[in-house]
Amino acid sequence: EDQVTQSPEALRLQEGESSSLNCSYTVSGLRGLFWYRQDPGKGPEFLFTLYSAGEEKEKERLKATLTKKESFLHITAPKPEDSATYLCAVQAGTYKYIFGTGTRLKVLA
Amino acid sequence: DTAVSQTPKYLVTQMGNDKSIKCEQNLGHDTMYWYKQDSKKFLKIMFSYNNKELIINETVPNRFSPKSPDKAHLNLHINSLELGDSAVYFCASSQGWDGMNTEAFFGQGTRLTVV
């Protein structure tokens, strides 16, 4: 069965304290792995798409990497405005995205 | 200009009522979705439509009836609302090519509260 698991469930960091979020997946024939950011009361906002193992994408303080079994979202020197829930999703079949339960990140000033 | 817009943003209603949520996308995408997000923030797919045709129905009770009048619109009608239907409902869209899809773009969500 296709499945996505994210860890940790919640993470508190001091401003400037770098860390990584994990997304482990089991899917038959990965067609894409997606990272989203969700702020309270809003819809998920797209961050990155990764298609093949070894691929990396960067945007400001965020860097996403992909292996055959998992993806990491590295956050370098985070700021309080990076506080949000980060969601990972895989494309399972052409018309379906399966989401993980997310990591709630809190960055303290 | 909002890419995926859904209305209303908030919906409070009594058990047994019927309600609708509307969704429109101006991205020119050919695939639209309804997702349900529970209190633990888990997003679960309900329906997928491609070019107005229902592709995926994830064992959703038949009280939920999606309708896609055209590629840019996907509405969700819910009959006989129950307490357990309380959640945030998200509409999304994406573009497909060669069996793949781009990232999905989400609306701002409709918070449904059944009392």
Token pair, residue B25, equals: 């996308």
pLDDT tens-digit series, residues B41-95 = 899 999 999 888 998 888 889 999 999 999 999 999 999 999 999 999 999 999 8
Q: State the pLDDT at residue A67.
A: 94
* pLDDT of residue A94 exceeding 80: no
> Residues of B with CB below 8 A from A96's CB?
45, 48, 56
Task: List residues in chain A touching B: CB distance below 8 A.
Answer: 31-32, 34, 36, 38, 41-46, 49, 85, 87, 89, 91, 93-99, 101-102, 104
C-alpha to C-alpha distance for A56 and A49, rounded to whole angstroms: 9
Per cent of chain A over pLDDT 90 is: 85
Using alpha carbons, list the distances in angstroms from residue A6 to A24, A26, A89, B44: 6, 12, 10, 15
pLDDT grade for B98, boundaries at 50, 70 and 90: low
> Residues of B with CB below 8 A from A35's CB?
none
Average pLDDT value for residue range A11-22: 98
Average pLDDT value for residue range A19-37: 93
Q: State the pLDDT at residue A96.
A: 84
User: Backbone phi, then psi, for A75, in 5-degree steps?
Assistant: -115, 115
Closest chain B CA to residue A47: B103
Residue A81 and residue A58 in contact, taking contact as beta carbons nearer than 8 Å = no
> Residues of A with CB below 8 A from B55's CB?
94-95
**Largest distance between two CA atoms of chain B:** 45
A25 min Cα distance to partner chain B (Å): 16
Among A28, A47, A95, the residue to mutate for chain B (most B Cβ within 10 A): A95
